Amino acid sequence: MPELPEVETVVRGLRDVIPGRRIRRGRLSAPDLYHTGSRRLGWIDGARVVSVDRIGKAILFTLDSPAGARALVVHLGMTGRFVVPQAQGGARVFQGDEISSPGVGAGEMASIGRHCHARLRFEDGGELWYVDPRRFGYFYLAPLDGVRESLGIGPDPFEMRPRRMRALFEGRTAPIKSLLLNQKVIAGLGNIYVDEVLYRTGLHPLTPAGRLCEDAAGLLEASRRILRSAIRFRGTTLRDYRDAAGRRGGYQQRLLVYGREGEACGKCDGEIRKIVVGGRGTHFCPACQPRRGRPAARR
């Protein structure tokens, strides 16, 4: 599932090729992915794409349409991606869960065609496709100033100060892992990066969030550092990695705990363990991330 860095990577890619273009016609072949159930994207015809941005893990196309300013909001779900077919054949793929390549072959094009659920045709003849094999993604139109409300998400780590983060923790009994995953509270962090953040801050994933008010600033800083690094790393790898079978981002090699259960901890002699917190597989080092407030653990 694409997390903030992957969505940011997709947004940066689209930003190079989409803004400024006017849409001649929008066509939707999978109405179930469109929240209001409309079969046609009629409202989008004639609109100019002003900008492409990220809000949490969603993508926001700001449109200057004949009906006024509008937002086209797209959530990539598990396997959503954008495809720009190239005039000379093949396509550019912008996606979050796998590494994309600068051009795709005929076999991949056939698969893309099968899973293409929406197409925007621009005045200049080019097109933008939304492709989603597993169909967990969705999109909808919203008033420009109500997008965050329509998504029901909190600020992401780049949008808040330590004091806000601390306030979000106060009085919460939920495990810190669950709270950081709760998009309504803090947007953008997913299972992989939460595990990395907690490891690097030495916090046990089951610690009640309310006990970590003093750690809020450190957690925020670690979240930003890890997300920034992941964005940077993925961005570099996107251009040259071409293994179609590998569902691995460039940051995969940088992960210190996620997916490393049974391996040696990089900081101590201990071993990375995996537990389940709130239904999610959670990786941590019991020695580097001890439970707090439990005398037995302090021996």
| Contact footprint for Zn ion (CB under 5 A) | 265, 267-268, 270, 285, 287-288
- By beta-carbon proximity to Zn ion, the closer residue of 73 and 285 is 285
The two three-digit tokens of residue 298, written as one number = 């302090």
Q: In the annotation, is 57 catalytic?
A: yes
State in angstroms the smallest separation of the CB of 198 from Zn ion. Answer: 12
Closest to Zn ion by CB, 262 vs 279, is 262
Close Cβ partners of 11 (under 8 Å, ≥ 6 residues apart): 52, 53, 54, 59
Place of tokens 């990375």: 272
User: Is 8 tagged catalytic?
Assistant: no
Instruction: Return the structure tokens found at 81.
Output: 């991606």
What does residue 235 show for φ and ψ, rounded to 5 degrees? -55, -40
Written as one string, the DSSP assignment of 226-288 is: HHHHHHHHHHHHHTT---TT----GGGGG-SSTT-TTSBPSSSSSB-EEEEETTEEEEE-TTT
Torsion of CA 249, 188, 278, 34, to 10 degrees: -90
One of 280, 286, 291, 292 is an active-site residue; which one?
280
Q: Which is nearer to Zn ion, 133 or 286 (CB)?
A: 286
Active-site residue flag, 274:
no
Residue nearest to Zn ion (CB): 265
Tokens linked to 120: 């925007």
Query: Are residues 44 and 27 in contact, defined by beta-carbon separation less than 8 angstroms?
Result: no
Q: How far is the CB of 175 from Zn ion (least distance, A)?
A: 19
What minimum distance in Å lies between the beta carbon of 222 and Zn ion? Answer: 16
Q: Measured from the CB atom, is 94 or 199 closer to Zn ion?
A: 199
CB of residue 191 vs Zn ion: minimum separation in angstroms?
20
> Is there a catalytic annotation at residue 3?
yes
Question: Active site residue: 5, 8, 27, 57, which one?
Answer: 57
Active-site residue set: 2-3, 57, 280
